[in-house]
Chain A
């Protein structure tokens, strides 16, 4: 923030999205938005760093020299590999009756110049790759070969909108997994880069997206639409 590194710590909970404070100024920050909601830095916002939610296997093959956060020995008992079903059982404190989704439905949420849209995880899993358009931007939402990792790209090659589909003989083991674009018939990998064909060497632009519970996404994006197929 303004050239100064801030260090954050957990400071509370706001309708099941946590609050953190920074050691340097004591300001309060909302996790999901990265905005300071109280204290000396109120109104400031942290820059969002592009990140991925991947399986370890997918990441391992993409980042051979990458580093993994080591488990802290004294807390390993507390780590829960089964966190998703466990958290899904917890009660919710805010709900949005009248919307098509249930509070604990998992969505992939994205926002482009203020226009937010939520993609139910179940729909993505069934239909991947999904082509959509938000605020004029053509989007490609795709689950990885493992069926658990996901990424969102701008589906534009050299400034022209493109359509993508899954390579027909992708195979169930994911080894032959590739996307093919309808314009240049090139093959694209899950990192959004063309590996063969006319577009080889080109990469699609990424769009930050958040896997979240519907209630939390809706709470911070009241104007959000829901993707329908």
Chain B
């Protein structure tokens, strides 16, 4: 019963002696506060450029027209934006690192990890991880196809070329670029 208060006390004196609290450091080093501000600003920009569109354009959720526009606008600028903001983040982090305490350092490290993650994800098309695209589609003569006669297909005829795209396949790949009768087409399902 009377053991806990002394323990708390000893804890708090330890805090002060190790000097780890970021606020403590900030007080001691006022000129770096603007550095912190720009560091967090860069980090928030880089992180939002990936996460805001990813959050808006998520499956099974309603997309409002204005939110969608914002998502596309951010995503359009994300690969350049995350690169610039990310590099700036690293530069400011470097400047902050030496005078930062242990807590501050872990915060910087976490922010840098998330920023890097955002910059990488802004360059990757994760929708194609769920639904792999077909690059260079192959075709079979209809006599070589093992498809059942009852299966549904999408059919296109242009000039002398007739193509069938089984819906079971298109419902997975969703988009297919093809050339039929000399006409470039996008087949979608």
Any A CB within 8 A of the CB of B147: yes
Chain B residues with a Cβ closer than 8 Å to the other chain, count: 65
Contact, CB under 8 Å: B150 / A146? yes
| Cross-chain contact of A67 among B53, B75, B141, B147 (Cβ < 8 A) | B141
- A13 and B57 in contact (CB under 8 A), knowing A7-B177, A53-B154, A69-B164? yes
Contact, CB under 8 Å: A55 / B57? no
Of the listed residues A12, A16, A87, the one surrounded by the most CB atoms of chain B closer than 10 A to its CB is A12
- A56 and B148 in contact (CB under 8 A), knowing A14-B57, A81-B168? yes
In the complex, which residues of chain A have a beta carbon less than 8 angstroms from the beta carbon of B27? Answer: none
Contact, CB under 8 Å: A63 / B162? yes
Contact, CB under 8 Å: A38 / B164? no
In the complex, which residues of chain A have a beta carbon less than 8 angstroms from the beta carbon of B134? Answer: 69, 72
In the complex, which residues of chain B have a beta carbon less than 8 angstroms from the beta carbon of A222? Answer: none
Interface hits, B114-155 → A, CB 8 Å: 125, 127-128, 131-134, 137-142, 144-145, 147-155
Q: Which residue of A lies closest to B186 (CB)?
A: A8
Bound: A69/B164 CA distance, A: 6
Bound: A160/B188 CA distance, A: 35
Contact code string A39-53 (vs B, CB < 8 Å = 1, else 0): 100000010011111
| Cross-chain contact of A12 among B127, B156, B185, B188 (Cβ < 8 A) | B127
Any A CB within 8 A of the CB of B87: no
In the complex, which residues of chain A have a beta carbon less than 8 angstroms from the beta carbon of B72? Answer: 19, 28, 37-39
Contact, CB under 8 Å: B151 / A68? no
Any B CB within 8 A of the CB of A64: yes
In the complex, which residues of chain A have a beta carbon less than 8 angstroms from the beta carbon of B11? Answer: none
Contact, CB under 8 Å: A67 / B163? yes
Query: Smallest Cβ distance from B156 to chain A, in angstroms?
Result: 5
Q: Which residue of B lies closest to A149 (CB)?
A: B152
Contact, CB under 8 Å: A18 / B156? no
Bound: A126/B141 CA distance, A: 34
Of the listed residues B153, B166, B167, the one surrounded by the most CB atoms of chain A closer than 10 A to its CB is B153
Bound: A7/B134 CA distance, A: 12
Any A CB within 8 A of the CB of B62: yes
Any B CB within 8 A of the CB of A6: yes
- A15 and B186 in contact (CB under 8 A), knowing A53-B152, A63-B157, A66-B163? no
| Cross-chain contact of A54 among B58, B137, B153 (Cβ < 8 A) | B153
Contact, CB under 8 Å: A56 / B139? no
Bound: A6/B69 CA distance, A: 22
Contact, CB under 8 Å: A93 / B60? yes
| Cross-chain contact of B167 among A19, A37, A53, A93 (Cβ < 8 A) | A53
Any A CB within 8 A of the CB of B172: yes
Contact, CB under 8 Å: A90 / B60? yes
Contact, CB under 8 Å: B149 / A60? yes
Bound: A209/B46 CA distance, A: 44
Bound: A145/B23 CA distance, A: 78
Contact, CB under 8 Å: A68 / B57? no
Bound: A31/B189 CA distance, A: 8
Contact, CB under 8 Å: B62 / A69? no
Chain A interface residues (CB < 8 Å from chain B): 5-16, 18-20, 26, 28, 31, 37-39, 46, 49-57, 59-60, 62-72, 75, 78-81, 83, 87, 90-91, 93-94, 146, 148
Closest 3 CB pairs of A and B: A57-B149, A66-B162, A63-B162
User: Can you list 8 A-B contacts with CB-CB less than 8 angstroms, sorted by A residue number?
Assistant: A8-B177, A39-B76, A49-B156, A50-B156, A59-B164, A63-B142, A68-B166, A80-B171
Chain B interface residues (CB < 8 Å from chain A): 53, 57-63, 68-69, 71-73, 75-76, 125, 127-128, 131-134, 137-142, 144-145, 147-158, 161-177, 180, 183-186, 188
